[in-house]
Amino acid sequence: MSVINRMLKDLEKRSAGGDPSIYQPVAQSSSRGLVAGLTAAVVILLGAVGGMFWYQYSSKAVKEPVPSVQTAKNEEQSAAKTENLSAAASESDNEMTESDAQKDVKDEELAALEDEIYGPDVPPVVETAYVEPKTQKQSQRTSEEKKPKVMRVQEVKLTKKQEIDLDRKAVGTALSMGKIDEAKEALRSMLSRDPANTFAREKLAALLYGEGRLAEAKSVLNQGISGQPSYGNYRLLLARILVEENRRREALAILTAYSPKAAKENLDYLSMEASLATDLNEPLIAVESYSKLTRIMPKEGKWWFGLAIAFDRQGTASAAKANYRQALNLGLPEASHKFAQQRLSELGGRK
């Protein structure tokens, strides 16, 4: 409307120059359209009021019936009013249609005139915000953040050695806390994985022996001897259990079934074998065992004394006398010293 008012003012200025042909038709057409529009609005308003009145009247007539004669008259009157209102409404509609058409024509003429004077309208410029493009790393990070996080459980399989090491630590922990049953269970677990594990077998047999469960201890050791017949410690532990059960000859048989070399690690084995052979009067076995002991510890008098007794019982007087003298030279306890001197005097002339 501001543009139209501006154009009208411009036309008035031009009309002051003495050319009424430019603005006179526009003023007349505008006033005529305005009158037509007002007339149409009044007619529509009257039609709406009449319609509402007729609707209310009809509803009331349905709810409260009146005598037939009066009803007929009212119907005739209302029909007449309706026809009048309809005719008036149609006339007003026709007038509105004509006025609207004239108005559209005039609006087009005004728009063309406005374009001629001021030029065509320039479309508004829409400003857009600058969005910085994401780098490849940012896009990758965003996509990774959108991805749902999945927890993965990976099974780690331990090696045989790692499992045995864990069992061995469990044994140490259980023993330090006095939990013997847990320690034995861990030892059995070690043996199930590695039957040749000497630590587990010896420790389990020792725990069973300490609890007085001798049969179970012997069973564990016999299984070890069957699998490792040349491992002397299994035989030594089993022989000690048999000696405690007063089964000395069986103990000697277990020891003599394996002949260890003369080495410090076999000192206890050979010492027990020699002692059992002497007590059971087995001089041949005793000579062999004590001979190995003198090679391991040549400066130990007791081993030479034991070897001398073994030769003496075997009936070899010269060998017995030589070993008695060697024992006395290295030193013996008082009782052993007296016995060696006595035997030397008794064997004096014998060869």
CA distance 330 to 313: 22
Name the residue with higher pLDDT: 45 or 135.
Answer: 45
Dihedral of alpha carbons 227, 230, 234, 238, sign: positive
201 and 224 in contact (C-beta within 8 Å)? Answer: yes
Residue 149 pLDDT grade (very low, low, confident, very high; cuts 50, 70, 90): low
Percent of the chain with pLDDT over 70: 56
* pLDDT of res. 67: 43
Q: For the ranges 70-84, 227-241, 278-292, 300-314, which has the lowest average pLDDT?
A: 70-84
Kindly tell me if the per-residue pLDDT of 123 is higher than 90.
no
Average pLDDT for residues 178-205, to the nearest whole number?
A: 93
pLDDT at 84: 53
Instruction: Provide φ and ψ at 184, rounded to 5°.
Output: -65, -40
Token duo for residue 285: 């076995």
Which pLDDT value is given to residue 162? 85
Residue 230: CB atoms within 10 A of its CB come to: 10
The per-residue pLDDT of the chain, averaged, comes to: 77
Q: Report d(CA 9, CA 269) in Å as an integer.
A: 136
Residue 334 has pLDDT above 60, yes or no: yes
Residues 6+ apart with CB under 8 A from 291: 307
Burial of 347 (0-12, 13-18, 19+ CB in 10 A): middle
> Among residues 283, 266, 264, 206, which one has the least CA distance to residue 232?
266
Q: Identify whether the C-beta of residue 183 lies closer than 8 Å to the C-beta of residue 207.
A: yes
Can you tell me the distance from the alpha carbon of 243 to that of 103, in angstroms, rounded to the nearest whole number? 136
Q: What's the rounded mean pLDDT across residues 112-126? A: 55
CA 166 – CA 144 distance, rounded (Å): 40
Q: Which two tokens mark 33?
A: 């359209």
> Tokens 């087995």 appear where?
282
Distance CA 295, CA 349 (A): 29
Alpha carbon 18 to its chain centroid, in Å, reads: 97
Q: 95-104, 260-269, 334-343 — which is least confidently predicted?
A: 95-104
Distance of CA 195 to the CA centre of its chain: 35
Q: What are residue 133's phi and psi, to 5 degrees? A: -65, 145
Least confidently predicted of 11-20, 166-175, 242-251, 288-297? 11-20
CA separation for the pair 113, 107 (Å, rounded)? 10
Whole-number Å distance between alpha carbons of 300 and 277: 20
pTM of the model: 0.54
Higher-pLDDT residue of 313 and 97 is 313
